[in-house]
Chain A
Amino acid sequence: MSEAAATGHDHPQRATAFIKDHTRAQWHDQALWFVRTKRDRAIDLVPEWQTLRETAAAIKAHTVARLPEYLEQFEANATAAGATVHWARNAEEHNRIVLQLLQKNGVKRIVKSKSMLTEECHLNPFLEKHGIEVTDTDLGERIVQFRKEPPSHIVLPAIHLKKEDVGDTFAEHIGTPKGLADPQQLTEAARLHLREKFMQAEAGISGVNFAIAESGGVVVCTNEGNADLGCSLPKLHIACMGIEKLIPRVADLGVFTRLLARSATGQPVTTYTSHFHGPQAGGELHIVMVDNGRSQIRTSDDYRRSLNCIRCGACMNTCPVYRRSGGHSYGSTVPGPIGSILSPSSDPSAHRSLPFACTLCGSCTDVCPVKIDLHHQLLTWRKDLASKGFVAWTKRASMVVASFVMARPWLFRFAGTWGKRLGRWLPRALLMKGPAAWMNPWVRSRELPPLPAESFRAMMEKRGKQ
């Protein structure tokens, strides 16, 4: 059972907690919007942006359709280059494979660069339970690891924190002076702390941005250089990937490297785009390919395109709900629009509130570099959740009443006439507070619009007589 189901929390409840601190919520909104505007400036310099998106979506659609063949081709070529390929049906198998590799090599300390897959599989707590020290080396990931929090964003894991929070965390864990809140100095302190960890690590774990079928290589993109240090110093490199990371050709990287960083942070490219084919001399490279529900998503005509996702985070940065409610309110590894599609696929009951954390504005669909029809899929999820009975009875009941009324013009007219009258006559408290607010959360922070003197129907009828 997921965290969300276990605690009985859902998105609106968690979001309520987040927006209690109004100033902070507003700051969060602006911070993410700033990233979105950086993205806009970057893509304005690429006149063929739309062609790139279409090409990327077409490559992904082709690859997903031929996925079993490409996986086999990748396995053969990766093996030929000297890597060892492992397959895992689910998170448990993935974690067990990684643990066995580490135990076989007598590894006690590992460094890990950012990998949403290992977050999804909850690898860290599993390895720690078995006595292995895991150090997340991406600065944002290290910050949230110290705080025992999940990342709140897939590209910017600590975007929910202010520099003073980071200062407090570092003061507690790596001995920076209390009150230090300068990003430059905090980053320097983390650099020194993590250098030590890099030097001590006996293995490096990385994620995978792209896996190339024709060459058997994996590509990892970072800005900090942590994946490169972590997977070059120790002899053992374990790369963990979902099976949807495949692309057919080396040349396809030309398309995806142009889209990824621009969409994610507005950079023209990540600082380091590293291509690993086989292990370094005298070392080992293990690649763990994980299904964990992906083959199931592939069977669905409605949700298949969500497998195009390259985890750039652009849909989060632009999402009015994500920006105002924070990543943690989603209660899932991947938050925001794409997370609200992927999470219910694995556990619809636990994540039932997520497809409703959406205004259907479509901004996510507009910015998605691989053309996932995000807001359409979110709407489809609502339908699916309703048919599975995962929608609150208040919502279901009001839908039943509404369709009953709307199917009967006389009743609709009657309800309109009396609704207008009652709306004016009844005390505000009865309409906006108590049971009304409980039934209809919209009125909790919104005023009712002024009720018109006459209905649209009445106006039309009058006009017809003239």
Chain B
Amino acid sequence: MSARDEILANLRKRNLEVPPLPTLDTAWLRFEKPAEQFATMCKAVGGNVIPVTDRKSAIATIAALPVLQGGNKQVCSFAPELFAGNVDPALITDPHTLEPLDVTVAEAKLGVAENGSLWFDSSFISQRTALFIAQHVVLVVSAETLVHNMHEAYARITPPRPGYGVFVAGPSKTADIEQSLVIGAHGARSANVLVVG
């Protein structure tokens, strides 16, 4: 018998009474001011929150970010209308070539007020590696896409199949040495998060 059949047969030897699967239609946590809550949580997870009024000021704000100053910066942008990078993700065939990236700019599909995270997936991020391999990330989210909690977030997104999707909350971090929080473990060393509107 194959391992598969044996494991399944073993499990079926014992029929258990099946309790019902909860419906999840509870009235989950909501916030009076989701944008404020998002900003608070985003800061708590190490993000640098920058509120901007509209997309036009987002363009100006991104252009002025310290991480994008100086010559020879390699920038991969998934939001070329907000910032034109010089590494075109559409032309990348081997993600290893993204290693020298200084900054990745990307716009999230939605943000979650309860934990400050942002959703990205392969339907609009063609090279997922760029989100992790760049030294810094600049993330943009529209205030009107903010949801209160993770339940609402999962109701709004459909992880692509086949594909990849990720909630990103702030920069990469670790506390593996004596519980000291260090920002910039393997991924981004900083995350500027622009909230538009």
Residues of A whose CB lies within 8 Å of any CB of B are: 31, 34-35, 46-48, 51, 55, 58-59, 61-62, 64-68, 71-72, 75, 80-82, 87-89, 93, 137-140, 143, 156-159, 161-163, 166, 183-184, 186-188, 191, 194-195, 198-199, 215-217, 223-226, 228-229, 232-233, 243, 248-255, 257-258, 265, 267-280, 289, 291, 295, 298-299, 304
Contact = CB atoms under 8 A, between A and B. Distances in A.
Contacts of A143: 176-177
Nearest to B27: A48
A68 B185 contact: no
B167 interface: yes
Given A82-B162, A272-B168, 16 more contacts: A31-B179, A61-B19, A64-B16, A81-B161, A140-B176, A186-B177, A187-B184, A195-B99, A224-B173, A233-B96, A251-B155, A267-B169, A269-B45, A271-B168, A273-B167, A279-B162
B161 to A, nearest CB: 4
B154 to A, nearest CB: 5
A224 B178 CA distance: 16
A271 B173 contact: yes
B8 A251 contact: no
A378 B45 CA distance: 36
B44 A268 contact: yes
Interface stretch (B57-65, B67-75, B77-85, B124-132): B124-132
A235 to B, nearest CB: 10
Interface string B21-64: 11010101100000000000100110000000000000000000
A67 B170 CA distance: 35
Interface stretch (B102-110, B111-119, B138-146): B111-119
B177 to A, nearest CB: 4
Given A81-B161, A191-B186, A215-B159, A48 B179 contact: no
A216 B4 CA distance: 17
Contacts of B12: 68
A257 B150 contact: yes
Interface residues of B, number: 75
A268 B150 CA distance: 11
A253 B129 CA distance: 23
12 contacts: A34-B179, A75-B4, A156-B179, A162-B178, A184-B180, A225-B188, A228-B129, A254-B149, A258-B115, A269-B150, A298-B16, A299-B13
Interface string B175-197: 11111101011111000000000
Contact of A269 (B24, B96, B117, B122): B117
From DSSP, what is the main secondary structure of chain B's interface residues? loop
Contacts of B26: 48, 51, 55
Given A215-B161, A224-B187, A270-B169, A89 B95 contact: no
Nearest to B117: A269
Contacts of A289: 7
A58 B18 CA distance: 10
A22 B75 CA distance: 52
B165 interface: yes
A223 B159 contact: no
B159 A47 contact: no
A292 B35 CA distance: 46
B117 to A, nearest CB: 5
Contacts of B17: 65
Contacts of B115: 258, 268-269
Nearest to A55: B22
A391 B52 CA distance: 67
Contacts of A67: 11
B37 to A, nearest CB: 10
A228 B132 contact: yes
Tell which of A31, A71, A191, A223 has the most Cβ of chain B within 10 Å: A223
